Structure 1
Amino acid sequence: MTGMLTGKVMLVTGAGGGIGRDIALAAAGQGAAVVVNDLGASLKGDRSEAGAAAAVVAEIEAAGGRAIANTGSVSDPDAARQMVSDAVEAFGRLDAVVNNAGILRDGFFHKMTYEDFDAVVKVHLYGSFNVSRAAADQFRAQEGGALIHMTSTSGLIGNLAQANYSAAKLGIAALSKSIALDLKRWNVTSNCIAPFAWSRMTSSIKVDTPEQAERVRKLQEMKPAKIAPLALYLASDQGRDVTGQIFASRNNEIFVMSQPRPVRSVHRDGGWTPETVAEHAMPALRAGFVPLDVSADVFNWDPV
């Protein structure tokens, strides 16, 4: 196969289904050799879908592409290093990583257990670190590579009953920026995508009101394959000058997201007291406050 990624090798985690699967298939269609990683786990992280990675490899090979399966857990640093080793051993190099693996254990904060917080952060945030760290050594040796991390508007903006997921996903955005800064000298890029798509992750959304039912209906129209083009561009030679950015992809829309910067300031000669903070600082700064929105409040128009 020939295409935009001809000659490149891509590792996609959590690629046994949903967004990861479609990115792996699309990458192979563009000429990349693909390491298809999937633990074969349920949405909550329990092993229940053994063979998911192998099934995607079979699809790629049936279409004339090259791929191998890996069933390691991204939460295990040794397993992450093995993913990179598998890529280099099978295909001679590694050019791009898509950190897509994830689980959900939703719950309101006052009911969330340590175990549910820990499990989600371990897969999303630690998983992105583990795989990126393992790939960094190979990228530095090659003097080039691309890291594409999946963040979420649940972290970038906010969402109910997802403190663990939101914390991990916002942490991934900061991790990506640090990687972009630290590895720039070796021509390594690092970017984030906040995907909107119906997948294993979003299929757990509770439908208990007509409004939620309508929201889910709209989500079901957003296919995971729509995320792939942006991810493949960021992995390609054409995307080598794009780094440290946060994108969102929703159906046929692509957004570049803002990143925290000062919006207003106040100064007082001699410093502040609690009283002058109340009398002067807060009234002056209030116009710059961010509303307590959730993702759906910000992305409040129909996808196009």
Structure 2
Amino acid sequence: MARVAIVTGAGQGLGRAHAHAFAAEGYAVVVNDVGAAAETVAAEIAATGGTAVASTGDVSSWEYAEQLVGTAVERFGRLDVLVNNAGLVRDRMLVGMSEAEWDLVLQVDLKGHFCPLRHAAAYWRAQAKAGAGSGGRIVNTSSGAGLMGSVGQGNYSAAKAGVLGLTFVAAAELARYGVTVNALAPAARTPMTESVFAEMMSTTDAEFDAMAPENVSPLVVWLGSEEAGGVTGRVFEVEGGRIGLADGWRYGLRREQQRRWEVPEVGKAVLDLIAEAEPPTPVYGA
């Protein structure tokens, strides 16, 4: 029986590329988006001999996310991979950002990861408890903005950093059911990033489009495979022909004593630590 993947935000850009890539590897694909583009992409896959069904809805809706997982199971008998890709931006400096711009980005980009993940995880847990096997795969989509921050994208950076925290916790909690959870920080040309990568696109090699979203998809498909069962809780940066493993937060240098610090002592300890440590990667745009 063919493996089954859900790809959210698959009506364009990275999601569309991922959906086509899974279909090319023989997966049945549930193509999600909020508009008619989901139907278009499902039809494109069918036209090339693949198997796909469209599911239109907002992945930040608890009820719809449950329905989305149910669509995969009802139509294809199983679910093997969830690719959380749906997202949007509302860029603005923090001093000018509205509450609505903050709330919308956190809702779509972070809650829109949690809701499908939660319902897919419940399905895989039930499968494992029933002795039906599991081996589910979740691939979340973060960003360099989530890793390092990005000027003018405080809402987006917060949401994408939240995706990383969600990934680490989900990887730890779902391991008992054989489910892996990883995240990407991709760089590619999409409707969201056209203005950001305009200069890069103008200098792209005619024989290799380094900004094509299709460059990201092979890693996503591999992380969704049975072969990737030993890889979980990891964050990958991918752009063009480059795959990198993000190092992330880890314990750093310390100063310690067997008593409470006095205020006059703290400054020297902090400044010594900063002087000895590697400087942080700069925020994008700083």
Residue 165 in 1 paired to residue 156 in 2?
A: yes
| 3-state SS in 2 of match to 1:183 | helix
For 2:154 and 2:269, the matched residues in 1 are separated by 33
The corresponding residue for 1:179 is: 170
Once superposed, which parts of structure 1, at least 4 consecutive aligned residues long, lie more than 2 Å away?
141-144, 212-221, 268-271, 279-287, 289-292, 294-297
CA apart distance, 1:213: 5.4
Instruction: Return the TM-score normalized by structure 2.
Output: 0.92
Between the aligned partners of 2:213 and 2:177, the Cα distance in structure 1 is: 31
| Partner Cα separation in structure 2 for residue 230 and residue 122 of structure 1 | 26
- Structure 1 residues 63 and 292: CA distance shift in structure 2, 3 A: closer
Question: Which runs of no fewer than 5 residues in structure 1 stay unpaired?
Answer: 1-5, 41-50, 206-211, 298-304
User: How many percent of aligned residue pairs carry the same amino acid?
Assistant: 40
Q: Distance in 1 between matches of 2:220 and 2:277?
A: 33
Q: Which amino acid aligns with 2:20?
A: L
1-structure distance, mates of 2:256, 2:203? 46
* Comparing 64-73 and 284-293, the one that deviates more: 284-293
Corresponding pairs, count: 276
Residues in 1 aligned to 2:285 and 2:97: alpha-carbon distance in whole angstroms: 23
Distance 1:261 1:292, change over 3 A: closer
The 8 Å contact of residues 265 and 285 in structure 1, kept in 2 or not, is answered as no
Is contact 2:135–2:226 with CA below 8 Å preserved after alignment?
no
Q: Which of 205, 218, 225 is matched with 1:229 structurally?
A: 218
Matched, 1:37 2:32: yes
TM-score if structure 1 supplies the norm length? Answer: 0.86
**Alpha carbons 1:266, 1:285 under 8 Å: kept:** no
Distance (whole Å) between structure 1 residues aligned to residue 202 and residue 141 of structure 2: 23
SS of 1:131's equivalent in the other structure is: helix
Give the one of 179, 186, 192 matched to 1:201.
192
Q: How does 1:60-139 map to 2 (within 5 A)?
A: 60-139=45-124
Does structure 2 retain, via aligned residues, the 8 Å contact 1:32–1:66? yes
**Aligned partners of 1:186, 1:91: CA distance in 2, in Å?**
21
| Secondary structure at the counterpart of residue 129 of structure 1 | helix
Deviations 1:40-86 (A, max 9, x none): 2xxxxxxxxxx200110111101111110011101111010110111
Q: Which residue number corresponds to residue 3 of structure 1?
A: none
Give 5+ residue unaligned stretches, structure 2.
Answer: 128-133
Cα drift, residue 155 of structure 1: 1.2
Residue 21 of structure 2 corresponds to 26
Residue 122 of structure 1 aligns with an amino acid whose one-letter code is Q
Q: Secondary structure at the match of 1:102?
A: coil
Residues of 1 paired with 2:284 and 2:26: CA distance? Answer: 35
Q: Among residues 127, 138, 146, which one is paired with 1:155 in the alignment?
A: 146
RMSD between aligned residues: 1.8
- Structure 2 CA distance, aligned partners of 1:20 and 1:104? 16
